[in-house]
Every structure is written in C-alpha cells, then in structure tokens.
Amino acid sequence: MRTRVKICGNKTIEDVNHAVVYGADAVGFITDVPVKSSRKIDCETAKDLIEQVPVFVDSVLVIMPEDLDSAMTLIAETQPTCVQIHNDLPDNELAIISKTFEVRLIKTITVPEDASHRITDHIVSRIDSLTGIADAILLDTSTGARSGGTGKVHDWGISAEIVQRSKLPVILAGGLTPDNVYDAVREVHPFAVDTASGVETGGKRDHDKVRLFITRCGEAGR
C-alpha cells in the first residue's frame, strides 16, 4: 500500500500549492498553538488557506487547545477535513469533537527520543483506548519538556512494532527529511509520514526539499 504524505507547517498559499503540485496527500496548518514556533499561524490565516486547499487533498488543522471549547471554536471557524490534537484532552472530549464535526480526528502520541521498546505496550494500550474515537494516530518525538515538533528522530523499531499492533492507521513523524524518509518507510511501513522542519532550509520552507521528500517516500513503496 502506498504511504501517504502530509506536509505540515504551511504558512502561505505558495507553500500549499507547491506541496499539492508535488503530490502531497495532506497539508497541515499549525494554528494558535501556545508554544513558540516559527510555523504557527493565526486562526484567520488558517481559515483562508484551508479554503484554498483543492478537492482530494486533506487540510489538517494542528492545534493544542486548552480545553474543549477552544478546540470546538477553532474547528468551527476553520472547517478543515482533519484535526490533529497535539496535546492531551480527555477521551470523552475527543469523542465529542468526533461526533460534533464531520472531521477526521488524528491524535498525537509522543515517543521519547531515548525511549526503549518497553514503552511499546503502553503506547499500544493508549491506541486501543482511542479506537472508536480517533481515526488515526501520529507518532512524534518528544525531548525533555517538548512534546513533539522537535525535529528529532526516535527509535523506528518502536514505531514499526506499534504499526504492526495498532488498530488505527499510524502516521510517522519526528525528524523526517528527504535524506531519511526512504529508510523510515521501508522500516516502519506507516500509513503516512509527516514532516515540517525536514523540508526547511534556514527556518524557511524549501520547496525543492518538499518535492524530494515526496518523491523519495514514493520510491520507498515500490
């Protein structure tokens, strides 16, 4: 099965258009997050960009809401096809989001950069608890106090085992670049891969890297 590609951290329509032309399946928008990030945009910008995402390409609203009301407001105002919850909301609140909106829900689960395989059972149990609520999970790398968005790679052996045992589609993130995405797909066999900093140069979106990332992901599936 072909591995899908999500290009995240888009800030301009040029970013979106290049990702789409090069074959991205989804484009992500990091919106109103309460952390320092060069990739975050405000709700109005996200709404404008999401409206311009073409048919057959998913728009992913990436948020870290402080509570259910905040999440509901952001989703209602931007109308994405998918929402990625990047922090912890109670499962009952995630279920409310899933039932209220015609939107696919992606839940981020972090794997510490230095984690051992002992963490696998815990993560699989967490995925089991999300079955029937979330539509997919995204594995990102955490380092210290940073819960994802670190640009760091975790042990792909852990991710590969999770993919084999997960009841939900698994999206692999964390330090993926054009240089390593081929090996990542070959080892982990995720449903999709996700990158943001991996397709930047000097902190800015590098459209050549976007093209190369998508191309090499496709080559890995042949």
Which residues have a catalytic role annotated?
Answer: 8, 140
Closest Cα partner for 74 from 37, 42, 104? 42
> Which tokens belong to 147?
């819960």
Residues forming beta bridges with residue 7, ordered by sequence position: 27, 195
Closest Cα partner for 7 from 34, 33, 37, 39? 39
How many angstroms separate the CA atoms of 41 and 165, rounded? Answer: 35
Q: Could you tell me if 138 and 158 are in contact, meaning their C-beta atoms sit under 8 angstroms apart?
A: no
- Residue 133: phi, psi to the nearest 5? -115, -60
Question: What are the angstrom distances between the C-alpha of 12 and each of 8, 34, 40, 101?
Answer: 12, 20, 11, 26
